[in-house]
Amino acid sequence: MFDKLKNFFSPQKETPVDLQFFLKDETAAPLTDKQQFLVSLAQIIGEHHNHYTNTLSAGKNRDFYAEKMSTWYGITDAETAHDFIQSRLEEGFKHYYNQIIEEFKLTKGDVSLLPISDDEKEEFTFYFEHINEVLALREGQFWFTNGFGIADGFDHGRIAYVVKSSYTLGYLTEVEAWEYLEEIGEMAIDKFSSWNEYAKSYLLGKIFKIIKSQKIKVF
């Protein structure tokens, strides 16, 4: 499943040149099944940034991780790391994104049926176009056979990615990192019953963050 996801989006300019998928730290002590589940929540993003798949540590590219944490999330130290993680656990993007998904389902993708302003219609048109791109994918019927679902997985994946990166940079202690991951894991278990559902949910959230110059890549 992750083998397909790694090719879902076109590589970004920030992607490491020496990108390796399913990277492992062969010297690391084995994780428990629960710990492996928790660190795997970060891997949809982590796979694009050479994150280890079998450790709490993200890996050895500390300068790269520090740059991403700073430019993407405004995280530069322990205080900003905790602030970001806690705020996203409480709020995140999922509520707004889930509303857009519901509007798409109710209108069957017809923005003109929404009782909103012209400016809002322009924004919704952009989002609806990306949803339609996902539905047009070769495996679209597989991913969305049981309905669209929710976008919560996007928040879960991003927060888990931030936790691993922040721990690696020394912004979080090991205890703090596992506690955050356990909280994310409980949320994910409450929302999803399989990795396919989680991945689909992440992708639904991701399409709302794609800028107009980016295109969704077919498997």
- Flag whether 180 is in a domain: yes
CB atoms within 10 A of CB 199: 20
- Flag whether 18 is in a domain: yes
- Flag whether 80 is in a domain: yes
The per-residue pLDDT for range 42-61, each reduced to its tens digit, is 998 898 888 999 999 999 99
In total, the chain counts a number of residues equal to 219
The per-residue pLDDT for range 184-193, each reduced to its tens digit, is 999 999 989 8
Total structural domains within the chain: 1
CB atoms within 10 A of CB 183: 17
Q: 109: which residues sit within 8 A by CB, 6+ positions away?
A: 128, 131, 132
What average pLDDT is seen over the chain?
83
- Flag whether 167 is in a domain: yes
